[in-house]
Structures are given as C-alpha cells and as structure tokens.
A and B are shown apart, each in its own frame.
Chain A
Amino acid sequence: MAIAIVLILVAVGSVAFHIYSPWWWTEIASNWNQIDLTVVITFWITGIVFVALTLFVAYCVVKFRYSKNRRAEYKPENKKLELWLTILTSLGVIGMLAPGLWVWQQYVSPPPNADEVEIVGQQWQWSFRYPGQDGILGTTDANLVSFDNPFGINPTDPAGQDDILIEGDALHLPLGRPVKFLLRSHDVLHNFFIPQFRAKMDLVPGMVTYFWITPTRTGEFEILCAELCGLGHHQMRGGILIEEEDTFQTWLAEQQTFRQIQQDARLHQNRPVKIATDAPAGKE
C-alpha cells in the first residue's frame, strides 16, 4: 500500500512543486515568447500523461494486489487498445512537434534587416565587434590574430577598417531592433547564452555560427558560457546592456574603430593589448 500512497504523492507533489516552487524561468527579454509557449504546450501534454500514468499504476497496485483466491486475467493482446494508444500518442507528439518546428523555422531565419554583431570567445572572456559605418563586418582569419589585432581582422579589407571593437566592456544593444549574432572562437568551443533571451549557440573555432533575437526590454543581463571550455568555464561571464536607441548610439560613437586602434598601436609600439592569460581563480 505504501507504494500507492507514494505514487500519488509523486504525482500530486510534482504538480504542486511545478506550480508553487519559486524556481522558474527568468522574465523574458527577447522576442522568443514562442519558445516559452512551446514549453508550456509541452508541459501540458506531458504533464497530463505523467499524472495519468502514475495514478493508474497507483490504482493497479491497490486494486490488483495479490490474493491467493484470484487469478490474473489471461489476455495477451488487445489490438484495438494498442492501436488507439498509438494514435493518441502520435497526436500528442504532433501537438508538440508542429509548433516546435514552426518556431525553429523562425529561429534559423534571421530577418534580412537584422543588425549584425560579432561575438568572439576565447578562454575565458568575451569580446564584441560592430560593423561600424558601412554596416559590414570586415573579413577575419585566425592566422592574423596578434597582440595588435586580437580579432584577427584582415587589415587589407576596407570593410574592416571602421569595425568597432569592444574588449573588457559589456555588449550594448538597442531596444527593439533585431540583431543577428555572428559567433566566433579562437580556441575551443564556447556557448553564448543569455537565459533571459532563451537563446544560445555554440562558438566553434574554424567557423562562424549564428542566431538572432530582438531585445524587448531594457536592462542589464549576464552572458554565461554554456559549453565546457576548460578550467575557467564557470567564470567566463560577460555583460549585455539593452538601451534605448539614442543612449546606444551615443555610447557607440565613443568607441574605437579598428583603424583607430591600429594607429594607436603604431604610435605607442608597446601599448599592452589585453589578451586573455588570466588563469581562472579558484577559491579565494
């Protein structure tokens, strides 16, 4: 009997935990409400199945508990029942998959007018590049990475000259404009994850990956690395600031372009450029 009670507690308790526990997703800050919606649909469908099956098992162990005077039913198959269960399950699966694929279609199709911003990851820090005046990110090559050119921008590419480089500062983005992140890594896999955006993607050395969002509320958010990238993985954090358009433009105008940084570097030959060499700190 104890098992029946525990099973009922598991079913009821899980639902109660789901409803009343304080741990739930963060307030969304991007356009991906549909992801949340798909999660909710999935919760309903699977939750009903879970509760129903658990209670059914609880019922069976009470009702059909062993008795010497009874025999179990001998009925090896029930084609009709099996067919119905298969059909119902398939409908449930379609009910989750169809909206899921529909949202995925949007996730992989950035709007043509999306701003491009490059995210560069390396052990264990984030840096960012805006395309600058011309709206085009200059070409890059890992072979060109050096102290003076930490992004590996091709110096002969005119499109790269006005690119705006951000190191050691937060990523600023204007509110309400779709942005396509182009992700690049110099060393190992990383993952660009902002829980409030509901979106993430790996950074893979040797290639450029992407995803897009539209920020829907202002505020400061944290970038977490979500792909194991060595000892400093848990410390590979960055900041994101979602601002009103004009605040953002003011900030952007104050940042240095690739050309300016190159000139500075030639002026002061020995200017130290920050390259990630900090070992991750353990416990203090």
Chain B
Amino acid sequence: MAKATPTDIDDLETADLPEMDLYHPKSFLTKWVFSQDAKVIALQYATTATLIGLVALVLSWLMRLQLGFPDSFDFIAPTDYYQYITMHGMIMVIYLLTALFLGGFGNYLIPLMIGARDMVFPYMNMLSYWIYLAAVLLLAATFFVPGGPTGAGWTLYPPQAILSGTPGREWGIVLMLASLALFIVGFTMGGLNYVITVLQARARGMTLMRMPLTIWGIFVATILALLAFPSLFVSVIMLLFDRLLNTSFFMPHIIEFGEKLQYGGGSPILFQHLFWFFGHPEVYIVAVPAFGIVSDLIATHARKNIFGYRMMVWAILIIGLLSFVVWAHHMYVSGMNPYFGFFFATSTLIIAVPTAIKVYNWVLTLWRGNIHLSLPMLFAIGFIITFINGGITGLFLGNVIVDVPLSDTMFVVAHFHMVMGVAPILVVFGAIYHWFPLITGRWLNQTLGHLHFWITFVGAYAIYFPMHYLGFMGVPRRYYSLGETAFIPDSVADLNKFITLAALVVGAAQIVFIFNLIYSIFWGRKAERNPWKATTLEWQTETMPPRHGNFGPQLPRVYRWAYDYSVPGAKDDFIPQNQPPAPDEEAAPTGAPPS
C-alpha cells in the first residue's frame, strides 16, 4: 500500500513529461485504426464486443423461438440448437462481457480516473486489441466452415466436445479452441497493462485507498483474469492435442457407437477442474468491475459517499481471493470425490458474506442520500435487485445438497443469467448512460433511454424469475425440446411461450439502444462539462471529450478520496478529487480513509 502522503510527495521531482510530439497520432490511420491511445482502443474494444454481442443476442432469439414454439421452426434442427447455445454462451461470457469490462471500460477509465496520460505500454495495448479482433473473427468464422460451429456447450466438456455425436467436430471445435487461445494471448497483453498502470502511473496523491471503486473493481478483476486464464489456456491446448494429435489428456477408453476409439487413460474430470478453475473466477471477472462501477454510479447520483468504502475495498479483495477456492461447486454432480462437496460448499457460502456486505453498502448509500433518479441510477437500482436475486439463487446452488436436484436444470440457466448476464449488463448500460457525455460530449436521448431501461429491467425479470420454477420442477437445461414428458404439465409450454415473447421484446429494446447510441454520437444534445457534478478525475479534464494525453500540460494532483459528496460546510455538494483542501477545511473526516 502506498505510504506516500501529500507532504512526502511535495519533495519528489515531478515526473511530468514535456509534450511529446512524436507520440501524438498524425493521420487518420494512427488516430482511429492503429491507435495507441487507450481511449480509442477502448472504443475499438467496445465496438467489436458489441457487434459480436449482437450475434449472441440474435442466437438467443433463435433459441427462445425453439423453446417457446418447439414445432414451428423447421430451420432449427437439434444440430443448430446446440450450436446456438454454445456460441451464445461463449460469446456473451468471454467475447462480450470480459472484453467490454476490461478492454472497454478498463482502457477508457483507468488512465483517466487515476490521473495518468495513458496506459504504461500503449503499443502492447494496441496489439492486445488486434489480437482480440483476430480471436473474434476466428470465432465468427466457425459459422461458415463445413459442419459449422461446435455444439459442445460453452463448457466444451470432453469427451463429447471432440467426438462425432456433437456438431462441429471437424472444424468448429478446433477454431473455437484456437480462438480462445488467441483471446487469452491478447487479453494478457492488455491485462498486464491495466495492472501495471494502476500500480505505477497514478497521479500524485492518488493513494490506493483514494482510488474510485471502479478502478478497484477493474484492477482486481484483471488480476483474477491474469491468474485464471492460464488454466483455460492449458485446458484448451490439451483439448486441441486430444482432438488433433490423438493424445489422451482428457480421454479414457471410449466405445463410440460400438466402435473402439484410439484413446485411453485420460480423465474427463481433469478438464472440468481446469475449466472451472478458470470458469468460476471468470464469473467474478465480469462481476467485480460491475461492482466497482455501480458503486460509483450510486455514489455520484445519490450525492453521497459510498457507504463503508474501506469495507468495499476489502470485500472486493476477499471475494477475489476466495473465488479461486470455490470452483468445484460447478462439479457437485460431476462424479468427483463427493467429499469435496463439504469443502466447496463451505467456501462458496463463505463468499456470500463479503458479497452481501457489498449489497448492504450499496443500499445504505441510498439511505439518507439525495437521490437523482437519472438513468444511471435507475440502472444501478436494477442491478441491485437482479444481483440480489441472482446472488440468492447462488446460495441454493452453492449449498451442495440443494444443488443436487437443481444442477443442470433451467434453475441454473435462470440463476446465471440473472447474476452474470442481466446484472452486469445493467451496469454496462448504466455506465454508458453515465459516461457517454464524457466520451462523446453529447447526451444520449433520455426518452429512448427510459424506454430502454423499463423494458430491459422489467422484461429481464419476467424472463428469468419464472424460469427458476421450471428448474424446480426438473426441466433440464440444454434441451432442444421437451417432447412428451409425463411430469411436465402443459402449462409449461405456455410459460415457455411467455418467456420467449418477453425475450423478443427485451431484445428489441436493445436495438433501440443501439440506435440511440449511433444517433446521439452525431446528433445528441451537447453536454456541458462534468454534467453529473462528479468528483472523479475523468470529469476534471481540460476538454470534454478528453484529448490524447488526457490532461493538460500538468497532470492532476489528488488531495482527497473519490467520494466527497455533500461534505458539510462545502459550497457545492461535491468536491473534485483534485481540489486542494480549503484553508479552513478539517483534516480528512472520520471514516474517510487516511491518506
């Protein structure tokens, strides 16, 4: 933890660099295409992620059409359905959410919010994006290769993932694995950048315990990702070897349709351990940046300091740490040694405590706040509710014996959509409504924004809340169709139709949002500077949107934490982080972390 106090820092030499002419982009190509400006890279990441995310959205419509109207859509065969779920899940989790939170928000916000001119390794940052793009293109290419994309489910469990009973065995799975490997390479370049930038490039006075929670969230999530992705990387490579070179890392003796295969001695469960050692932290890689961002949205729009800042930081750190010792809660019925269940159920439910503390602190920040019901605040509230809901069902699935009837049913689908689909995406939307004026200098259309919020929040709840009950009944997930099943009453078909309609409406609202984005970039109402009256540094730049290099000739100097809202005695209801203490200002108020 940084020991330097503002007084120590006064004695330090300034590290500001003179304006470096060489480094500024000179042409369209270096400004917008091969840009080394973290802000442009952020937009590139965000655009690419959104585009591939739209593919996943369309796939979700197709899946829902099949589930809601199983006999009506002849063009959806079982092969297609299993390909849809796989591509949908993989895109949403990795190529959309991970890329958007870290590559998108991370790149845009880290340098700005900590008072740096850019990432510490701009060239590597640029490479990171281009490798990510290659990974996305490779993934998209699987739609066009013979046999189509893999239908192994996003978990890619062997032996099934590489055997012929699964679609896309020829090309799909190979390209998927290659794409994932590329993604990890690209991510590692970006990730090292984010972490080192946070550690090394903070403005003077920006101690770790003065950082906005957004940065804490992105910082911790990136560390998690750097530690978790290697596990996916090795499993991907080993699976690729099993597929292409006939090794048997994950393959035991197998009789496929009466025919003996050339495999033997491997362990399918080993893959699951490796996969979930990555896969569980991955949930937090998506969730923790959302935690951070939503904290700042709530504080800013409730005009109140985030309640229990230090607890919030510790909770993020503890959650991050614990997220590495809970992975096998995805494997309670996998056939692993059942005694693992005791350990993993305990560790999983322990995580609930710091997580619950975060939720309490968000709602306690609202308590005695001065709440603007602006769009970011509405989305933040939507996040709180869906996250509580999804967190609660996590307590069902984490408690090993309760997981037994529920695992692999629609309950799981409802749970993870609520907690890592809807909740973080609501934060993404809130963040976009919040930072759009900074990024473009214009407002998003607020009427369309409200339409977007209401349909998305209420619609998503209507999709996923009832779905849990299908899981209780025993409806399995990843089922192309239910067919005739004695214990499933006809009313389930009606519920499925309802869910499908809700999903289509929610999907349509996203198209409205995309339209709003594009429209407002060019024709949106002009925004004044620091329109939300926020304290954090990104709003204190010379220009809005900030130019290359972010700040003027002088880097900002930080005097206070990020949450000086409604400070008693202050003139305004916010004091920017870079505003020096007034002569009569008390020393840091109690509870604000000591510098």
Binding site for B on A (CB under 8 A): 2-3, 6-7, 10, 14, 17, 21-26, 34-35, 38-39, 42, 46, 49-50, 53-54, 56-57, 60-61, 64-67, 70-78, 81-82, 85-86, 89-90, 93, 96-97, 100-101, 103-104, 107-108, 122-124, 141-143, 145, 147, 152, 183, 186-189, 191, 193, 195-196, 198-207, 209, 220-222, 224-235, 237, 275-277, 280, 282-283
Contacts and interface: CB of A to CB of B under 8 A. Distances in A.
Interface residues of B, number: 117
Given A230-B165, A231-B167, A280-B78, A71 B568 contact: yes
A35 to B, nearest CB: 6
Interface of B: 71, 74, 77-79, 82, 151-153, 157, 159-160, 163, 165-167, 252-258, 260, 266-269, 302-305, 307-311, 333-335, 338-339, 341-342, 345-346, 349-350, 352-353, 356-357, 359-360, 363-364, 366-373, 378, 381, 384-385, 388-389, 392, 395-396, 399-402, 404-405, 407-409, 454, 457-458, 461, 465-466, 469-470, 472-474, 476, 478-483, 485-487, 489, 491-492, 495, 563, 565-568, 573, 589-592
Contacts of B334: 202, 204
Nearest to B351: A93
A188 B395 CA distance: 30
Contact of A77 (B268, B310, B408): B310
Nearest to A21: B469
Nearest to A141: B253
Contact of A23 (B356, B478, B495): B495
B345 A97 contact: yes
A25 B389 CA distance: 20
Contacts of A233: 82, 478-480
Given A64-B368, A85-B357, A201 B491 contact: no
B473 A191 contact: no
* 9 residue pairs, one from A and one from B, having the closest CB atoms: A206-B252, A195-B474, A230-B165, A76-B591, A209-B335, A188-B160, A72-B304, A77-B591, A73-B368
B342 A71 contact: no
B494 to A, nearest CB: 10
A104 B401 contact: yes
A25 B349 contact: no
Contact of B401 (A107, A193, A202, A282): A107
Contacts of A228: 82, 152-153, 157, 160, 478
Given A60-B366, A66-B303, 9 more contacts: A42-B399, A49-B356, A64-B371, A75-B368, A97-B399, A104-B342, A143-B260, A188-B160, A222-B487
A17 B405 contact: no
B267 A101 contact: no
B485 A222 contact: yes
Contacts of B254: 142, 186-188, 205
A101 B401 CA distance: 7
B69 to A, nearest CB: 12
A7 B381 contact: yes
A197 to B, nearest CB: 9
Contact of A232 (B165, B335, B474, B591): B165
Contacts of B458: 6
A64 B302 contact: yes
A209 B366 CA distance: 50
A25 B487 CA distance: 9
7 contacts: A22-B489, A39-B405, A60-B363, A75-B591, A77-B309, A93-B349, A230-B151
B472 A224 contact: no
A187 B255 contact: yes
A227 to B, nearest CB: 6
B255 A193 contact: no
A76 B590 contact: yes
A127 to B, nearest CB: 13
Contact of B269 (A101, A108, A204): A204
